[in-house]
Structure 1
C-alpha cells in the first residue's frame, strides 16, 4: 500500500478528471445547439393585405414562444443593398416580397398561377445558419399556404375545379430561391476553410515549441550577451518563416490531393503561411516569457476553440460567445479562408486579415521585449 501514500499518485485521477473535462467542454457548445436571433433580412417591394399577412407572420415568428429568445431577428432592408449586406455577413438569408405579389394572390384562382415569394440564401456566411434560416422561411410559407388553402376551399365548396386550379388551390404561394456566395462543391460542405486553418495553428504551435526547446539548449550551453541573444531571436524568427511556409504549402498540397476545390492553390497556401507565421510569433512571444507552460495554455485555447469554429455564434451559449470565441486565433484564419473560398477575396481579406496581422505584430513586440526579462543566475554552492 505504499503507492497510496504517495501524493503524486493521487494527482493522477484528479488530472484525468481535469483533462477529460477540458476535452468535453465543447459538449456544451455542440450538445444541443439552438438558434437565437439569427439575423434575416426582409425586403418588401409591394403593399396590400396579403403583404401585411406575411409581415404579421414574420412578426409572430420574431416574438418566439415562451420565455426564450426568438430563433430569428428580422430587419427590413432594400433589395439593391442586399448583395453588399450579405458580403459583409450581416444576414444569413432574406425573404423578398416582390412587386405584384399582392395582386397575384388576389387573382390566383382566376389566373390559375401561384404568387411568388423569394428567398435569398447567404450560403458562404455559414452553411448551418443559412440552411436553418431557409428551412424556417419555407416552413412559414407552408403555413401561409395552409391558411390560404383553408380559405379558398371554403369559398369553392361544392364547385367543380380543374387540375390546374386544384394545384394552385393547394399551393397558392411558391418560393423562388437564390443562393449568394455559394458554397462550391468539394469544399467539405463549407467546412474546408476551417479544416485548412487548424493546421496553421497546430504547425505554428509544434514548430514554435521545438524551436523554443532548441533555443533553450543553446542558452544553457552558452552565456550569451544581449546582442547575441537578439541575434538568436532573429534566427528563431527565420525558422518561423520556414515553418510557416512549410505549413501553408503542405496544407494546400494535401487539400489539392484530397480534391478540395480551392479558388487558387497559391493564394490558399500563401494565406495559411501568413496566418501560421503570425501565430508562430505570438506563440514564441508568450513562450519566451512564461516557458513551457505556454504550450499547455495554447493547447487549451485550441481545444476550447474547436467547438466554436463552425457553429454560428447565434447558436452558441453566451459563455462561448463572450469568453471563448473572441480569443480563438484560429477563427480569424478560418474566416479569412472563408472570404477567399466563397466571397471572391484576394490575399487581403479585410477584418480577419487585420486581426491576424495584429496578432503577429503584438507577438513580435512582446517577443523582442522578452530580451529584458530578468534571468535567474544559478547559485554557486561553496565547498566546505
Structure 2
C-alpha cells in the first residue's frame, strides 16, 4: 500500500507513543507516592523526665526505619513564632509539648486524667502533606501512650481498677489537634487553587497561539516596517488583556456556579486574569522567536506538570523536584490562589505574585526584542 510508504503516516504512531509517554510520566509521581522528610516543628514548653521521653521518641522517629528516610523531619521552634512560620509555609505541622505535661503524665492515674500532646496542622500549605504529617504525629503519640500504658499496668499488679481509671491507663496520653490556615469547605479538598489556575495557563496558551497565527498571516502578505510591527504587537498585547480578563472572570464565574467557596469573586477573577496575562506574554514571546514548535513545548510543560503541582515536593521523586517543578508556571498561579483562599492574602500574594510578574516582564521584553529577529526571505530561482 502506498500509505505505508508515506513518512508522514509513520509519524502518527510515533506521535501517539510520545504523547502517551508524556501523560504516563505522571505515574512516576502519583503511582506510589511516599512522604519523606516532611518538615515538622517541635515545640517544647515544659521540662522533666517525661518530656525527655518525648524528645527521645522524636529523635528515634527522625532516624527513619531500616535506613530509609523518615516520614517527618523535626526542627525545634518557639510557639510564639509558629503562626508566622506556618504562614511562610515552613512546616506542615507541629508537635507541641504543653506546659504542665510532665506533671500530667506523672499524676495521670492518680488524677484520672490523661496527659495531652498538641498537634498543630497547617492545612493551607498542602492538605495532602499536612494529613501525612498529622498521621505520623498521631502514630508517634500513640506509640508513646502505649509505652506508658504498659508501664502503668505493670505498676498496678493485681490492684483493682475502676472504670474511670481504666480509660486513663489504656490511653494515658492523648492528642489534641488545632488547625491553622484551614482548608475551607467546598474547595475540592484544597485542590481548588490549582484547578482554577490551570485555565489561566490553557487560556494564555490557546489565545497566544491563535493570535500568533493571525499575525503570521498578516506578515506573510506584506513585509512590515519596525513601526508597523510595534503597532501589531501593541494590538496583540491589547488582545492579550482581553483574553486574560475573559479567562480570569470566566473561571471565577464557573467556580461560583459550581459552588466553590471563594473568599472573593472579584479578587479571584482579578488574580487569575493577572496570571493569565503574564502567561500570555510568555507564550507570545516564545512563539515570536521559534514559531509553531512553541505550542509543542508548552504542551509538554503542561503535561509534565499536571502531577507535580498537585503533590507536596516531599512526596515526588528528586528528578521532578529539581528539573520539572521549578519550570511549571501554573504552580506559581496555584500558590498565589492558595494564599488568597487559605492565608487571607489580598491581590498581592508575595513571592508567587513577584514570580508571575517577573515571568510577564521577561516575556514582554523578549517579545518586543523579536522585532529585531532576522527575517528569512524566500529565494526565487530563475531558470
TM over 0.5: yes
Whole-Å Cα distance in 2 between the matches of residues 260 and 351 of structure 1? 25
Q: In the TM superposition, what are the counterparts of 1:1-384 in structure 2 within 5 Å?
A: 1-382=1-382, 384=383
Q: Give, in angstroms, the shift of residue 41 of structure 1.
A: 0.2
Contact (CA 8 Å) 2:71, 2:136: kept in 1 or not?
no
Quick one: distance in 2 between partners of 1:151 and 1:158?
14
Return the alpha-carbon distance in structure 2 between the equivalents of residues 30 and 206 of structure 1: 27
Q: Deviations over 1:283-304 (max 9, x none)?
A: 0000000001001100100111
Structure 2, unaligned stretches of length 5 or more? none
Evaluate the alpha carbon distance shift between residue 2 and residue 222 of structure 1 in structure 2; reply closer, same or farther with a 3 A threshold.
Answer: closer
**Alpha carbon RMSD of aligned pairs, Å?**
0.9
Cα distance in structure 2, aligned partners of 1:166 and 1:376: 87
**Matches of 2:363 and 2:4 in 1, distance apart?**
45
Provide Cα deviations, 1:251-282, integer angstroms capped at 9, x if missing partner: 00000000000000000000000000000000
Distance in 2 (CA, whole Å) between partners of 1:173 and 1:68 is 28
Q: Distance in 1 between matches of 2:250 and 2:2?
A: 51
Question: 2: distance between equivalents of 1:142 and 1:318?
Answer: 31
3-state DSSP of counterpart to 1:280: helix
What SS does structure 1 have at the residue aligned with 2:308? coil
Shift of 1:224: 1.4
**For the residues of structure 1 that align with 2:149 and 2:362, how far apart are their CA atoms?**
62
> Matched residues in 2 for 1:12 and 1:221: separation?
32
Aligned length: 383
2:62 partner SS: helix
User: How far apart in 2 are the matches of 1:2 and 1:212?
Assistant: 35
Deviations 1:154-191 (A, max 9, x none): 11121111111011011111111100000001111100
Q: Give the whole-Å Cα distance in 2 for the aligned partners of 1:167 and 1:365.
A: 68
